[in-house]
Amino acid sequence: MKKFYITTPLYYVNDEPHIGHAYTTILADVMTRIQKIQNNDVYFLTGTDEHGQKVQEAAIKNKTSPKEHVDIYVNRFKKVWNELDIEFDDFIRTTEKRHTDRVQDTLKMLFEKNEIYQNEYEGLYSVSEERFITEKEAEEGNFREIKRLKEKNYFFRMSKYQSKLIDHIQNNPDFIKPESRKNEILGFLKKPLNDLCISRPKERLKWGIELPFDKDYVTYVWFDALLNYISAIGWKSDDKLFDECWPADYHLMAKDILTTHCVYWPTMLMACNIKLPKTIFAHGGWLMDEMKMSKSIGNVIKPLDLAYKFGSDSLRYYLMSNMVLGQDASFTLDSFIQKYNSDLANDYGNLANRVLTLINKNFDSKIPKTFVCNEYDLKLINHAKEIPNQIINDFNNMQIHKAIDLIMQLLRSVNKYLEIKAPWKLLKSDNTKDREDASTTLNISAQVLKIGTVLLNPIMPTKTNLLLSAMGVNSCNNYSFGDLKTGTQISKLKNLFPRIEEDK
């Protein structure tokens, strides 16, 4: 059976992981979990890009060898992913043999097929971007450390695939998303495409995969790194896994690395006779506002530190609900606190608290029965029966912020419903009908709270799992109304989202 295969970029290990890296990786994790709650089989790959000039320079700066440098930094990425509840199936490092062997196989095969040739080239080279650039690109001013270079190098016949690539993009509307990015790439492809320089002389760069046909050169870092998406899933080494995963359903990234993924990568695959990925999805960038210091938050200034202080769920929730996929978004401490307090502490946390406490106190910690339903009960039941399909649809269409909005609306409607029905008052009455009404109200509230919690699970796995297990629910893939059986034993739960007190 085909697995839903999703990838993040392989991050450079030249520095610490930051909020941007965390965002794409959390997004991939959320999409993986969204598939899982729908009972689909998923394969989630992330990893690190460890060769090339940037890493070599970082190692020199830290006065270590590149190998020692990458071994230290890779663990920092893995540690942060663990702290952010990222559950990947595989983590690939481009220095691993399973990858370097496949890169060398590919180079050898393409060289033998005459898809790679040697040539002397003179042109402008951007040291910061590690690639030759055109005169026009240099004039546009987006490249740093430009110098003129004349050297012999190896080139991949990328230009040969230009029209085939354009056809593929035009015939497969989901290949590059969102639409604006697709148009950007089609615009780029209006100009003649050059062949791609895929080697670097060792005199200039030692830290890379040696070309199998010329030991004086290493492989250009992008030609090496892109191949991870197939080397990790067993291309030419584990046919079963490869066939189950490829073509990838989603390559996720930000718009900064769109061209390498939408032009270099598909043409490389075409030359290797491998199918192209289904969707390359580029989200926007997180813009950082200067974060203010605050007494209650202490000296927290980095967004990742907010996860350590307030739990990874709160950061995941903020990132997923505050970015419209495809557009840029700004991260500010004020909006983080505001969102946390209003959505998580007030709306969701209070609801969970209220429902569990009332059932624990008044119904012997068991999900109570339903009796006769009135119009308010039926209205909420209908809402809770209809909305999950729309939420799943939004999730599947990368409208994650919309899906979260709908879940929060559902949970808020339970809060309103409780205010109207006031079961705490009904429970004080001596009238049986009133007590039955309270029982019905709390059953329905618990059912809807459970549905909202299962749907929030991909976003906030830790807290929602705590709440589900307090509600006696063991599986996290049923969001249909009525699934929570009468009589289910529930337990007490500490406040899930204590308010963040601001000290302005």
Binding site for ligand ME8 (CB under 6 A): 9-12, 20-21, 23-24, 49, 225-226, 228, 253-254, 256-257, 285-286
| Shortest distance (Å) from residue 9 CB to ligand ME8 | 4
Alpha carbon distance 481, 383 (integer Å): 10
Task: Please state the φ and ψ torsions of residue 157, each to the nearest 5 degrees.
Answer: -75, 65
Alpha carbon distance 352, 349 (integer Å): 5
| Shortest distance (Å) from residue 253 CB to ligand ME8 | 4
CB atoms within 10 A of CB 52: 24
| Shortest distance (Å) from residue 284 CB to ligand ME8 | 7
| Shortest distance (Å) from residue 255 CB to ligand ME8 | 8
Residue 399 amino acid letter: Q
| Shortest distance (Å) from residue 128 CB to ligand ME8 | 12
Task: CB nearer to ligand ME8: give 247 or 285.
Answer: 285
Q: Please name the residues in contact with 274: beta carbons below 8 A apart, sequence gap of 6 or more.
A: 230, 235, 246
Alpha carbon distance 69, 271 (integer Å): 34
Task: CB nearer to ligand ME8: give 106 or 228.
Answer: 228
Task: CB nearer to ligand ME8: give 257 or 387.
Answer: 257
Alpha carbon distance 384, 60 (integer Å): 58
| Shortest distance (Å) from residue 303 CB to ligand ME8 | 11
Task: CB nearer to ligand ME8: give 99 or 354.
Answer: 99
The residue nearest ligand ME8 at its CB is 20
Provide the residue count of the chain. 504
Task: CB nearer to ligand ME8: give 24 or 56.
Answer: 24
- Could you give the 3-state DSSP secondary structure of residue 215? strand
Task: CB nearer to ligand ME8: give 228 or 441.
Answer: 228
| Shortest distance (Å) from residue 28 CB to ligand ME8 | 9
Task: Please state the φ and ψ torsions of residue 43, each to the nearest 5 degrees.
Answer: -135, 120
User: What is the separation, in whole angstroms, between the first and last Cα of the chain?
Assistant: 56
Task: CB nearer to ligand ME8: give 61 or 428.
Answer: 61
3-class DSSP string for 297-328: CECCCCHHHHHHHHCHHHHHHHHHHHCCCCCC
Kind plus residue range of the DSSP H or E element containing 72: helix 66-83
